[in-house]
Amino acid sequence: MSQQQAVLAVSTVIFALRSDPTTGISTVWIPVVRRIREPHEGRWALPGGPLRVDDDLEEAARSHLLETTGLTPKYLEQLYAFGKVGRSPGPRVVSIVYWALVESDEAARATVGENVTWLSTDELPELAFDHNLIVDYALWRLRTKMEYSRIAHAFLGDTFTLAQLREVHEAVRQKPLDPANFRRTIESSKTVVPTGEFVTGARHRPARLYRYDGSIDLADSGPLQ
Amino acid sequence: MSQQQAVLAVSTVIFALRSDPTTGISTVWIPVVRRIREPHEGRWALPGGPLRVDDDLEEAARSHLLETTGLTPKYLEQLYAFGKVGRSPGPRVVSIVYWALVESDEAARATVGENVTWLSTDELPELAFDHNLIVDYALWRLRTKMEYSRIAHAFLGDTFTLAQLREVHEAVRQKPLDPANFRRTIESSKTVVPTGEFVTGARHRPARLYRYDGSIDLADSGPLQ
DNA sequence: ACAAAAGTGTTTTGTTTACACCCATGA
DNA sequence: TCATGGGTGTAAACAAAACACTTTTGT
């Protein structure tokens, strides 16, 4: 049953925003892959796999993510190491889990097939292993971190309107925000700069386009980077 | 050089408050152990060691900590998994690092000897491996978390005065706090309850003793516990 | 002209900070 | 009675929330 060493794996919870096909409201979705062998054959699981001995942890997350889903994250951060004895049948597995944010329109173009699909975090089925707990924890981190850092930009393209940025916050925090107060909060944070361009075509006043100020880091990780 | 699997280790950054022998001011200290073999023989390192295959991660941190320093932490939380290729000479090592808080007077009683000592985080020497980076990151987490959670209690005994609790905050945040405003902040947080007892003996008005309200968790970890 | 969202102004409310001052004790 | 820290009161400064109102477009 037990062997000399635990197996090390790296997995990633990837978040993207998608419009609900019925209501049209943006909500948080994750890509999952189907398990093609036991244990939990047939169930959906987080993308990931064993750590190759010459790969850095973050690099392993990034490359495995690209191979299975074709996605390149705009934000990637270590979440937690899950290592409880018995969390996986068979040999002991310790999973170092990352969480990532990808641009909405890149997510729309991402690989989907028989063995890869997107699931809404509002109504997740039972996933393989302890992956429901992992997603719950990643969602909690996303929501708390959204309140005090600027990671929302990672869901958007290079330029965006304040309405789009507000939509991201509303999707993640699951409540409407006052447009006037939101505007002032963002403007006083000095993290965005107006490009001078406007979005025309909608049947209302054109919205100013902004660009994220790259001289400020998305999230303060202290001494790590 | 490279082998099939990475080695998994668990280490812990243990924080306690100690009075500076010269100034008398409380500052943050950590216990370290001397490396008795290569690599980095003779250098100070964080307590830790390889993960036994049947131990849970947190349990491994706790038991290794007890064996080497004799300490039982009042607070223990996972910090980060450090796994950069080349962070240790020889086989690939991935370290899952925890951070812990221990009561000040328990720390004073802790094992000290030829191979275990306490170091002030204000003036750390060069430690083994990447342990300086790890301690810096743990300190950053301690300081940021002190601002929005109630972990300060873990440095104190069951009952304490507000002056003692304030001293903990001042030691960690490295700046003086207004006693009047500190009192109100703590009282409005509803995390402490007065015991009804007072500390007499000092040459000033007796200070009220408080107890931490156990029904509120020290730190909100979301879906994990 | 009208709807609809962009964007501005203003008032209210609450929280943080600064600091003056009274209280209870030991020496 | 004096020094010392415990403990209370209060006003100013600042930040968050609520909401009325003006602007600019497409139809």
**Are B137 and A53 in contact (CB < 8 Å)?**
no
Model confidence pLDDT, tens digit, residues B164-190: 999 999 999 999 999 999 999 999 999
List Cα–Cα distances, A44 to A108, A132, B21, in angstroms: 19, 10, 58
* Percentage of chain B modeled with pLDDT above 70: 98
Tokens at residue A101, please? 């944010």
Q: Which of A4, A96, A144 sits opposite B81 (nearest CB)?
A: A96
B2, pLDDT greater than 50: no
- The mean pLDDT value for B96-124 works out to 94
**Are the CB atoms for A110 and A103 separated by under 8 Å?**
no
With 70 as the cut, is the pLDDT of residue A189 above it?
A: yes
Average pLDDT over residues B191-218: 95
| Residues 173-202 of chain A in contact with strand D via CB under 7 angstroms | 178, 180-181, 185, 188, 200-202
Q: Do B85 and A56 touch (CB under 8 A)?
A: yes
Q: What is the pLDDT of residue B12?
A: 98
Mean pLDDT of A21-35: 91
How far apart (Å, rounded) are the C-alpha atoms in residues A80 and A97?
6
pLDDT of amino acid B99 = 98
How far does the CA of B167 sit from the C1' of C22, in Å? 24
Q: Which band of pLDDT confidence, cut at 50, 70 and 90, is reported for residue A111?
A: confident
DSSP state at residue A113: B
Alpha-carbon span B103 to B75, nearest angstrom? 10
Find, among B206, B219, B212, B170, the residue nearest to B191 by Cα. B212
3-state secondary structure of A44: strand
SS3 A43: coil
What is the pLDDT at residue B44?
98
Is residue B55 a contact partner of residue B41, using CB atoms and an 8 Å limit?
A: no
A5 touches chain B (CB under 8 A): yes
CA distance B171 to chain A (A): 19
Instruction: pLDDT band for B71, please (50, 70, 90 cuts).
Output: very high
pLDDT higher than threshold 70 for residue A112: yes
- Predicted confidence band of residue A2 (pLDDT cuts 50, 70, 90): very low
Please tell us whether the domain made up of B7-148 is placed in CATH 3.40.50.300.
Answer: no
The pLDDT-based confidence of B1 (bands split at 50, 70, 90) is: very low
Where are the domains positioned within chain B?
7-148, 151-212
| Nucleic acid strand C within 7 Å of B185 CB | yes
Domain B151-212 matching CATH 3.30.230.70: the answer reads no
- The per-residue pLDDT for A164 is 98
Does the pLDDT of residue A190 top 80, yes or no?
yes
Rounded average pLDDT over B195-220: 95
Which residues does chain B have within 8 Å of residue A2's beta carbon, measured at their own beta carbons? 53-54
Residue A157, pLDDT score: 96
pLDDT at site A9: 97
- Residue A211 phi/psi, 5° resolution? -125, 145
Measured between beta carbons, the chain B residues lying within 8 angstroms of A54 are: 2, 85, 92
10 Å CB burial of residue B73 (0-12, 13-18, 19+) is: buried
Handedness of CA A21, A22, A25, A28 (dihedral sign): negative
The alpha helices in chain A, defined as continuous H runs, are: 57-69, 104-109, 131-148, 162-173, 179-189
Query: Taking residues A194-216, what's their average pLDDT?
Result: 96
* Residue A225 in contact with partner chain B when CB distance is under 8 A: no
**Whether B180 CB is under 7 Å from strand C:** yes
Nearest CA in chain A to B87: A56
Any A CB within 8 A of B146 CB: no
**Interchain proximity A8–B94, CB inside 8 Å:** yes
Q: Tell me which nucleotides of strand D come within 7 A of a protein CB.
A: 3-10, 16-20, 23-27
Residue A23 pLDDT exceeds 90: no
Please name the residue of chain A whose CA is at the shortest distance from the CA of residue B133. Answer: A223
Asked whether A2 and B53 are in contact (CB, 8 A), the reply is yes
Total CB pairs under 8 A between chain A and B? 85
- For residue B24, the model assigns a pLDDT of 82
- Nucleotide D5: closest residue by CA–C1': B204
Residue B37 to residue A129: CA distance in whole angstroms: 39
CA A19 to chain centre: 15
Which residue type does B40 have?
A: H
| Residue–nucleotide distance: B225 CA to D7 C1' (Å) | 37
CATH architecture of residue range(s) A7-147: Alpha-Beta Complex (3.90)
Q: In the predicted model, what is the mean pLDDT of residues A16-26?
A: 87
B110 — contact with chain A (CB < 8 Å)?
Answer: no
